[in-house]
Amino acid sequence: QVQLVESGGGLVQAGDSLRLSCVASGRSFNTFEKAWFRQFPGKERQVVAEITWSGAITEYADAVKGRFTITRDNAKDTVYLQMNDLKFEDTGVYYCAARRPVQGATYKDWGQGTQVVVSS
């Protein structure tokens, strides 16, 4: 079974840090672009950070620039999201996703999500 499995979420206080991990199993996603999304209750899922297959290029949502860092370890087929200086508004379910590195490709492979709760 092909799947992406997130971990690392939890309950933290504002200003704390968390590192999320997403491990692939069932097939290799090493050549795929990867991303972290988050979803707030009652809201649509939004992209937080993206990374190319080589890790050379990363992009971030404005709300997390300077606080979050996306990295990947292709030897472990794992993508990480280091989240520093967490804020109440970072609370949500975080999902990792993968897509083929071709123009127009969409994210079709998703994890089940990991909950992050930041208390103010």
- Cα(114)–Cα(95) distance, rounded to whole angstroms? 7
- Cα(39)–Cα(50) distance, rounded to whole angstroms? 16
What was the pLDDT predicted at 27?
A: 84
Q: Three-state SS for 89?
A: helix
Q: Please name the amino acid found at residue 32.
A: F
Q: Please name the amino acid found at residue 85.
A: D
Residue 105 phi, psi (nearest 5) = -70, 145
What was the pLDDT predicted at 118?
A: 97
CA–centroid distance for 34 within its chain:
8
For residue 2, pLDDT beyond 70:
no
Q: What percent of the chain has pLDDT over 90?
A: 89
For residue 1, pLDDT beyond 80:
no
> Span 42-71, mean pLDDT?
97
pLDDT band at 41 (very low <50, low <70, confident <90, very high): confident
Residues across the chain: 120
What was the pLDDT predicted at 28?
A: 86
For residue 67, pLDDT beyond 70:
yes
For residue 51, pLDDT beyond 70:
yes
Structure letter (DSSP) for residue 47: E
pLDDT band at 120 (very low <50, low <70, confident <90, very high): confident
